[in-house]
Chain A
């Protein structure tokens, strides 16, 4: 059995706002095993991005990682000095975002940006860096990379910019890639290409944490999945088990909603109600107000993660 590239233990991240403490991430624990793609899925506002940013040390004021451990190859990186963290970012851990312009500089040619990501972390001659850059751009499917390197980000389509960002994230061969909704802004044919690329990276030895609100993306490439709801992990299982035998009513609702589009039904499945405001979480299970199987106990007490059948399958629900 392989080891875990990333382990998150009991992570709590809050935003200390004027209206009170917004607990965006609560007691989140998860593993990203070596050479696998691990997914986090959930509706927007569930805390997926804040979890990723907590790992990267990118949570900004008034947000704060309150407690927990973030272990990269067994080493806790939560409290290392900012300088060391900077050195880790890009070389050992890289992140790609939904909107590539958050990581691309609009006034620098894309080739130079990718090359500098490499030169910053690796001590290699410039000439060699250039060659590696062209190779990297080509391997993410940018044709005519030698010339395209000279483009500025705005001269490229969204799909190409996303590829440049992936090239930049991958050029130092990090152990861990965190991809936050990497294809959400892209069209289906480009999305499929980017996912194929991520699979290739993974078989090349990079462990991936893939965040998406789209169950289609998760089903297509993840090995193992965590489902998040209102700041907490509510279910985890290997991908096939999760889709074949979901145990948490929230996961079931998400799946029914996604599959009903493909069935010949007039009325589509939905989940009644909305994601709760994190400032006013209900007592007991956060999903209780929207849950069809909710009982008295659910309204009074927060369920823990319980075994749900198969080994490695857990759900935060009294009914499972």
Chain B
């Protein structure tokens, strides 16, 4: 395996939720991001993906846990000291519109990070660099003086990507970058991200709630549920033989664009996602899990190595639990 670029060790974050209560957004998450890979992070909305993504690039301080950049602990570093690492770690959002100042032209929008990082020495050099970045992301140079509202959603996302690239980063956290786009445009952006990764050796932490997108773009995948990781592994292994019951339910819920493969009723998940204010004890998935036992209801499953893959489940699939009937499990 290649070098570890970024490592989370037990990252935990809770937000105040009024009346002294807390939203347990992310609890005890550990993971490694290898240089040059795309690590997919999947889970349903509110499960803590954005919170984790922001902690991973130190835009948000954890309540506890540590963050290591190339092996060095940057958790407690002052913002000033961290500044020299800042440009290595960038972020692109789902809705670039919300993050692009509507009063600025494309030139100004892309020049802003170049200025922050002191990349150019003259105005001409700046314009040349902006044009180069526009070309890299596929926005025609003649649009240099246009405003964000004059662009389509896909083009705005390209501008957001150009801004992130302006810092010449090593890692980009892509937070649902294609979720607001129609599929043909989504595919254009995914192709662009793959191309840029190849050309520049970028590392991505790719956040999405869409399993098909994550499957396509990721080398490895982490599945998240209610603030905790369920499993991590190579993409194809996860998809061909999921270990965590939640992963399998997520996969069964994918809507195939194929009327010959319609959902089978009994493979769907019922019930509701529990509240992150009062997460269930033990395994946070136990209230919806057909294989849950007393142990699941009381003891938090830890991430275990299962032949090169990691899963946090007391009864991982293919290891006996799913071979028992779920009725049996409920009464045991």
Q: Which residues of A come within 8 Å of B, CB atoms?
A: 43-44, 141, 143, 157-160, 187-193, 195-196, 213-221, 239-240, 243, 253-255, 257-262, 266-271, 274
Asked if residues B152 and A269 are in contact (CB atoms below 8 Å), the reply is no
On whether A187 and B209 interact (CB within 8 A), knowing A196-B263, A213-B182, A239-B259, the answer reads yes
Assess whether B183 is interfacial by the CB under 8 Å rule: yes
- Kindly state the separation between the CA atoms of A268 and B249 in the bound complex, as whole angstroms: 26
Of chain A, the residue at the smallest CB distance from B153 is A44
B258 / chain A contacts, CB cutoff of 8 Å:
219, 243, 259
B262 / chain A contacts, CB cutoff of 8 Å:
219-221
- Kindly state the separation between the CA atoms of A270 and B190 in the bound complex, as whole angstroms: 10
Known: A215-B183, A240-B259, A268-B216. 11 other contacts (CB 8 A): A158-B45, A213-B182, A220-B256, A220-B262, A253-B184, A257-B183, A259-B258, A267-B194, A268-B187, A270-B184, A270-B185
Majority SS at the chain B contact face: loop
Asked if residues A261 and B269 are in contact (CB atoms below 8 Å), the reply is no
A258 / chain B contacts, CB cutoff of 8 Å:
183, 257
- Kindly state the separation between the CA atoms of A147 and B53 in the bound complex, as whole angstroms: 36
- Kindly state the separation between the CA atoms of A159 and B194 in the bound complex, as whole angstroms: 33
Asked if residues A188 and B184 are in contact (CB atoms below 8 Å), the reply is no
| 3 interchain residue pairs of minimum CB distance | A216-B255, A187-B44, A268-B187
On whether A191 and B253 interact (CB within 8 A), knowing A266-B194, A270-B184, A271-B184, the answer reads yes
B216 / chain A contacts, CB cutoff of 8 Å:
261, 268
- Kindly state the separation between the CA atoms of A141 and B212 in the bound complex, as whole angstroms: 27
Identify A217's interface contact among B187, B250, B255, B272, CB under 8 A: B255
Asked if residues B152 and A274 are in contact (CB atoms below 8 Å), the reply is yes
Identify 23 residue pairs between A and B in the complex whose beta-carbon atoms are under 8 Å apart, listed by A's number: A141-B270, A143-B271, A188-B44, A189-B44, A189-B253, A191-B255, A192-B253, A192-B269, A193-B269, A193-B270, A195-B255, A196-B263, A213-B183, A214-B183, A214-B255, A219-B256, A239-B259, A243-B258, A255-B257, A261-B183, A267-B194, A271-B184, A274-B152
Assess whether B319 is interfacial by the CB under 8 Å rule: no
On whether A189 and B268 interact (CB within 8 A), knowing A157-B273, A215-B183, the answer reads yes
A266 / chain B contacts, CB cutoff of 8 Å:
194
Identify A188's interface contact among B182, B188, B250, CB under 8 A: B250
- Kindly state the separation between the CA atoms of A32 and B260 in the bound complex, as whole angstroms: 22
Assess whether B191 is interfacial by the CB under 8 Å rule: yes
B 174-195 binary contact with A (CB < 8 Å = 1; else 0): 0000000011110110110010
On whether A270 and B188 interact (CB within 8 A), knowing A213-B182, A220-B262, the answer reads yes
On whether A243 and B257 interact (CB within 8 A), knowing A188-B211, A193-B270, A220-B263, the answer reads yes
Assess whether B148 is interfacial by the CB under 8 Å rule: no
Majority SS at the chain A contact face: helix
Asked if residues B212 and A262 are in contact (CB atoms below 8 Å), the reply is yes
A215 / chain B contacts, CB cutoff of 8 Å:
183, 257
Q: Interface residue count for B (Cβ, 8 Å)?
A: 42
A259 / chain B contacts, CB cutoff of 8 Å:
257-258
A262 / chain B contacts, CB cutoff of 8 Å:
212, 215, 256
- The smallest C-beta distance from B142 to any residue of chain A, in angstroms, reads 16
Identify A267's interface contact among B184, B191, B257, CB under 8 A: B191
B 252-290 binary contact with A (CB < 8 Å = 1; else 0): 111111111011010011111100000000000000000
Assess whether B154 is interfacial by the CB under 8 Å rule: yes
B29 / chain A contacts, CB cutoff of 8 Å:
none
Asked if residues B255 and A219 are in contact (CB atoms below 8 Å), the reply is yes
- Kindly state the separation between the CA atoms of A160 and B260 in the bound complex, as whole angstroms: 30
A267 / chain B contacts, CB cutoff of 8 Å:
191, 194
- The smallest C-beta distance from B246 to any residue of chain A, in angstroms, reads 9
Assess whether B120 is interfacial by the CB under 8 Å rule: no
Of chain A, the residue at the smallest CB distance from B181 is A44
A240 / chain B contacts, CB cutoff of 8 Å:
259-260
B69 / chain A contacts, CB cutoff of 8 Å:
none
On whether A157 and B184 interact (CB within 8 A), knowing A217-B255, A219-B255, the answer reads no
- The smallest C-beta distance from A30 to any residue of chain B, in angstroms, reads 19
- Kindly state the separation between the CA atoms of A193 and B154 in the bound complex, as whole angstroms: 30
Assess whether B74 is interfacial by the CB under 8 Å rule: no
B215 / chain A contacts, CB cutoff of 8 Å:
261-262
Assess whether B300 is interfacial by the CB under 8 Å rule: no
Assess whether B317 is interfacial by the CB under 8 Å rule: no
B45 / chain A contacts, CB cutoff of 8 Å:
158, 187
B 149-180 binary contact with A (CB < 8 Å = 1; else 0): 00011100000000000000000000000000
